[in-house]
Amino acid sequence: MFTSEDPETLAADLSRMTVEPVSVERAEQLLSENMAWLPQGEPLQCIAEDRTTQFRQPGGIHSLHRRTIVFRREGNRLQIMVEAALLGPDGIERERRRFDESSDEAARYIEEVQARFSGS
């Protein structure tokens, strides 16, 4: 999802992509502290929300890591993406998915992973 640098718009768009609502103050903080554009620099990114859920399985504890990331793209545009990564008990990533349309897609994926683990 592409968004605006206007703090109110960014907060509303982030709230559609995160588990918890994002305040305008938090959006302002992300913009001022993490997304300042450096003309000679690489495109920037920051983590707006970071959550980990653990699943106990025979053989160890698996983790599902969910991050909401804000990227600065070409043309000085901001993009919001949710990334979900499944890690095995050894800490090795088993699978990773990215979602850029809505938090509903990410939530459905997370529910599928939870169902797989509770069903085995």
Chain centroid offset of residue 16 CA: 11
With CA atoms as reference, report the closest residue to 44 among 19, 66, 77, 11. Answer: 77
CA distance 99 to 20: 17
**Residue 71 is inside which H or E element, if any?**
strand 60-73
**Residue 53 is inside which H or E element, if any?**
strand 45-57
pTM, rounded to two decimals: 0.81
CA distance 101 to 71: 14
Tens of pLDDT along 10-35? 999 999 999 899 999 999 998 888 77
Maximum separation of any 2 CA atoms in the chain, in Å: 51
| 36: pLDDT strictly greater than 90 | no
Tens of pLDDT along 46-68? 899 999 988 887 778 889 999 99
**pLDDT score recorded for residue 12:** 95
Confidence band, pLDDT 50/70/90 cuts, at residue 107: confident
Degrees (nearest 5) of the Cα angle 99, 105, 109?
95
Query: At 19, is the secondary structure helix, strand, or coil?
Result: coil
Degrees (nearest 5) of the Cα angle 25, 27, 32?
95
